[in-house]
Chain A
Amino acid sequence: MDSGRRDVPIPPHRITPLKENWIKIYKPLVETLLVQVRFNMKSRLVQIRTCPETKDKDAIQKAADFVQAFALGFDVEDAIALLRLDQLFLDSFQIEDVKNLKGDHLSRAIGRIAGKNGRTKFTIENVTKTRIVIADHKIHILGSYQNIRTARTAISNLILGRAPARVYRNLRSMSARATF
C-alpha cells in the first residue's frame, strides 16, 4: 500500500449522507490534519493523500480511519472522536460469529440488539460510552478498548437470547465499578 495515499470505498447507502456532511468531513481533514482529500464520483471512493504541508506521519491513517468510520454508518460527530483521541478503536463483527442464526432467529436477534425505537442500542451506547452501528447482521462498535469489550459482551448476550433487563443489570454493575 502506498504510504502517502488511501482510498476509502463508500457504500451506495452512505453516498447521500456523505454529500450532506461533506463540509464537516473535509474541513478537519484539510485544516487540522493537513492532508488532501477528494470524493471520486465514478469509482465512489474517498481518496486521501499526503502533501508537503502534512506534518504528522499518522495523519493519513487517522484520516482514512475517520472516513472509514463514516462509511460504516457512524455520525460525523462521533467519527471525529477518532481524530481527536488516540485510544479510540473500531471493532466489527457479525452475528454469525457469536451464534449461527438463520431466518427469523437472525431477524429477532437483530431486533433484540436494537430494541424498540433503538432503545436497547442507545442504552448500551450511553452506559458503555461507545457508539454502535447495526447494519443487517454486521455490528460495528466505536470506543475505547475496555468500553468496546463491555459493549461487545452485552451485544453477544443479547444475540444468545438473554432478556434485555438482565443485560442492563450487568451493564449497570459494570458501569458502577468503572466509576469507583
Chain B
Amino acid sequence: MADQIKFDSQQIFGLFNKSVSDLTSFLRPNKKIENDLRDLTLKLFELFKLNSGVPGIKDLVTEGFDEEQIWAQLEKHNHTFMKIIDKDVSNLSSLAKKLTKTVKIDIPQDDDFDILEPASSGEDEEEELKKLLGPREKFVGKMLSTFEQEQLQMDEKITKLEEENLKSKPWKLIGEVTADKRPANSLLEDHLQYDFIARPAPIIDEQVALKLEDLIKQRIKDGIWDDVERKIKPAEQPFEYKRRLILDQEKSKVGLAEVYEKDYLQRTQQDKVEEENETHKEIRKMMSAIFLQLDSLSSFHFTPKPPEPEVKIVNNLPAVSAEDTIPVAVSEANLLAPEEVLEKPKRPVKGATERDTTDRKHDRRLKKKKQKIIAARKNAKKISNVEKLSQSAKQKAKQAEKLERTQKQRQMKPSQLKT
C-alpha cells in the first residue's frame, strides 16, 4: 500500500516538475500543459481519496470545467474532511480530560494545573498529554499523611515568601521613580491614586442640571440680567502701537472755526442719516415683500449670474518701508524698543531678596488700596441686589393680596346666593 502511494506520488511530482520546468510556456495559454495539470489534479485527488477514505464527493469532474469550478469541488470535499478531523480531535481531548481527572484525585495539592485548557489540535494533544502526565509521576503512588501535606504546603509558602523578599521591589514601592527607572508603559497599566491639585470638574448629572435650570428660572422671574460679560483683552500687533503713536504733528492748514464747523457738521449729518434710514427701511421691507410675491408668480426658476470677481489694483509700492537702515533679516517687531511695546514700570523691578522695607510697605499699601476698591464694589453690588430683591418681594406680596381678594369674592358668592 505504502509503496503504491510512494510510486504514485513520485510519478505525479515528476510530471508536475516536468510541466513546470519551462516557465516560458506559461506566458501564453498552452492547451497541452493545461490538460496535463488537469490529469495531475485528478490523479492527486484519487490518491488522496484512496488513502484517507473520507466520504466526500465521489469523483472529481475536470472535463469541460474551468479551474474555479474544479476548485469549488475540492473545497467541498475538504470541508467534509475537516469535519471528520474535528470530531477526532474532540474525542482525543475528552480522553485527555478523563486521564487528568484521575491524576487529580491522586495529587490534590497541585493547584497550578489548569484542567480547563482545551486542546487545540491533534499533534499538540499528544504533547500536552505527555506534559501533563510527566511531573505528576513522582507523586503518584506515594501516600502522604495530612501532617506531611501541611508541612509541604508550609515549606512552599516559606520559600515563596523568602524569594519575594529577596527580589528587588517593584518600581511602585521604591518611592520616587523617574520614567527611565520603570518599564515602558507601566504607568498605563496601573490604577494610580494621587491627590489632585486643581479642583476636579463638576460631574453634570440630571440633578445638577435641574438645579441650574431652577436658578435660571428664578433669575428670569426676578428679572436679574446681570451676568458677567467675558472681557477680552484685544491682542495688539507691535506695529499698530507705533502707528497710533504718530499723531498729526503738522500745523493745521484750516482755521479753528473750520475745525469746529466740520465737527459740528459731522455730528448733525450723522443724525440726518439715521433719520433717513428709517423710511428707507420701511420702503425696502415693502419692496422685498412685493418682489417675493412677483417672483413666485413669474420667475422662481430664474438664477442670477454669479457676481464678477472684483478687480483689485495693486500699486507698485516698495515692499520694505525705508524708515531706518536695518539688516534684511530683522522682523518688524524687533524695531520697537521694549518700552514702546510695554510701558516701563515706574520703580525698578526687584526680586524677593532685593526688596527693602520701603518696597514692602509700598506693595502693602498698593494691595490694601486694591482690596478696598474691590470691597467697595462688592458692597455696592450687594446693596443694589437687596433693593432688587425687596422690589420683587413687594410685587409678590401685591399679587398674593390680589389672589386672596379674588378667592374671598368667590367664597362670598355662594353664601350671598344662599341668603
Q: Which residues does A use to contact B, with CB under 8 Å?
A: 75, 77-78, 80-81, 84-85, 88, 118-119, 122-123, 125-127, 129-131, 142-144, 165, 168-169, 171-172
Contacts and interface: CB of A to CB of B under 8 A. Distances in A.
Contacts of A119: 249
B205 interface: no
Contacts of A123: 247-249
Given A129-B263, A165-B245, A172-B244, A81 B250 contact: no
A142 B247 contact: no
A122 B248 contact: yes
Given A129-B263, A165-B245, A168-B245, A78 B251 contact: no
Given A81-B260, A129-B260, A144-B260, A75 B249 contact: no
A77 B250 contact: no
Given A129-B263, A165-B245, A122 B250 contact: yes
B183 interface: no
16 contacts: A81-B260, A88-B256, A119-B249, A122-B249, A122-B251, A123-B249, A125-B252, A126-B248, A126-B249, A127-B247, A130-B256, A131-B256, A142-B256, A168-B247, A172-B244, A172-B247
A78 B257 CA distance: 6
B57 interface: no
A88 B256 CA distance: 10
A73 B316 CA distance: 45
B351 interface: no
Interface string B236-263: 0000000011011111101111111101
Contacts, number: 55
A75 B255 contact: yes
A80 B261 CA distance: 12
A20 to B, nearest CB: 16
Contacts of A165: 245
Nearest to B340: A165
B335 to A, nearest CB: 16
A129 B263 CA distance: 10
A151 B179 CA distance: 66
A144 B244 CA distance: 25
Of listed B244, B245, B251, B261, residue having the most chain A CB within 10 A: B251
Given A123-B249, A172-B247, A77 B260 contact: no
Given A80-B255, A118-B251, 16 more contacts: A77-B255, A77-B258, A81-B255, A81-B256, A119-B249, A122-B249, A122-B250, A122-B251, A126-B252, A127-B247, A127-B248, A129-B259, A129-B260, A131-B256, A143-B256, A165-B245
B260 A85 contact: yes
A152 B251 CA distance: 19
Instruction: Give the interface size class of chain B.
Output: 10 to 19
A148 to B, nearest CB: 12
Nearest to B339: A165
B234 to A, nearest CB: 14
A84 B257 contact: yes
A169 B247 CA distance: 10
Interface of B: 244-245, 247-252, 254-261, 263
Nearest to B255: A77
A19 to B, nearest CB: 20
Nearest to B241: A169
Contacts of B247: 123, 126-127, 168, 171-172
B256 A77 contact: yes
A127 B244 CA distance: 12
B249 A80 contact: no
Given A127-B247, A165-B245, A172-B244, A122 B252 contact: yes
Contacts of A127: 247-248
A46 to B, nearest CB: 20
Contacts of A78: 255-257
Nearest to A119: B249
A139 to B, nearest CB: 16
Nearest to A126: B248
A123 B136 CA distance: 106
A44 B247 CA distance: 40
A46 B247 CA distance: 38
A85 B249 contact: no
Contacts of A143: 256
Nearest to B252: A126
Nearest to A118: B251
Contacts of B254: 77
B267 to A, nearest CB: 11
Of listed A142, A169, A171, residue having the most chain B CB within 10 A: A169
A141 to B, nearest CB: 11
B367 to A, nearest CB: 25
8 closest cross-chain pairs (CB), A and B: A77-B255, A81-B257, A81-B256, A78-B256, A119-B249, A126-B248, A123-B247, A84-B257
